[in-house]
Amino acid sequence: MTDRRDFIKALGAAALAPALQPLALSLHSRASVRKLDRIGLQLYTVRHQMEKDFDGTIARVAATGYGEVEFAGYFGRNPRDVRALLDHHGLAAPSSHVSLAPAEWRAAPLIRDCCNAFLASFKIWNAATIGGNICMSLPAGPMISLTVALEAIYTLWPHNAPPRQVPAIDFVTGNHGNVLDRGELRRSIQVPASALSRRFAFRRASLTTWGVRPL
């Protein structure tokens, strides 16, 4: 026996069916018209595999079905060899991920290394910020180490006072502690070009890899 509630549901579904059918057909036809002819892969997403096996990674990308790639470094390969490898696998590279840092900024790669060293939960992996990492002032703070190494200067904005500048090395005072006063904001970070022009070394000590807990 059909009760009143089931009857109303069935009646509503029957009334909506004719209205929804043209919409479904319209969406299907629109999707077929806007079909993508070329799909590419940003090789930055497989940068670790590229570093270990450059030729093999390119081969696997092509075998997956991609027709274009965007490079994020060539790992010591010369342009002629890269072009030959792409031609061999039927790939094109219409764009490339390049650094805008001047050649004399030898320490610029240190910024990327420290960003990759974030010891972060997956919940904030794509949302963590440089300023947040500094102001949290935790022991595992790669942005703190980075800006101290590059002799950066922080500009702080007090609530009711003129802006003040603090050297990065003097900002953190302890575990989860810093010189920020109540209501004060860290406004900017200034890194001298002279520091970016120096040689650098990078070492990371951690129980995890790339912010992910080992299984």
Range of the domain at 82: 40-96
Find tokens 């450059």 and name the residue: 54
Asked if residue 214 is part of any domain, the answer here is no
User: Across residues 194-199, what is the average pLDDT?
Assistant: 92
pLDDT at residue 209, rounded to an integer: 58
Shared domain for 89 and 153, answered yes or no, is no
Of 132 and 212, which is predicted with more confidence? Answer: 132
Structure tokens at 190: 């200034």
Asked if residue 47 is part of any domain, the answer here is yes
Contact present, 195 and 151 (Cβ < 8 Å): yes
- The secondary structure of 58-122 as a DSSP string is HHHHHHHT--EEEES--TT--HHHHHHHHHHTT-EEEEE----S-TT-TTTHHHHHHHHT----T
Shared domain for 158 and 88, answered yes or no, is no
pLDDT tens, residue by residue, 112-139: 888 877 766 666 666 667 888 899 998 8
Shared domain for 156 and 192, answered yes or no, is yes
Asked if residue 12 is part of any domain, the answer here is no
Contact present, 162 and 71 (Cβ < 8 Å): no
**DSSP label of 150:** T
Asked if residue 208 is part of any domain, the answer here is no
Asked if residue 31 is part of any domain, the answer here is no
CATH of residue 124's domain is 3.30.465.10
pLDDT tens, residue by residue, 55-109: 999 999 999 999 999 998 899 899 899 999 999 999 999 888 777 778 889 998 8
Of 2 and 121, which is predicted with more confidence? Answer: 121
The count of domains in the chain is: 2
- Cα separation, 122 vs 124, whole angstroms: 5
pLDDT tens, residue by residue, 144-157: 999 999 999 999 99
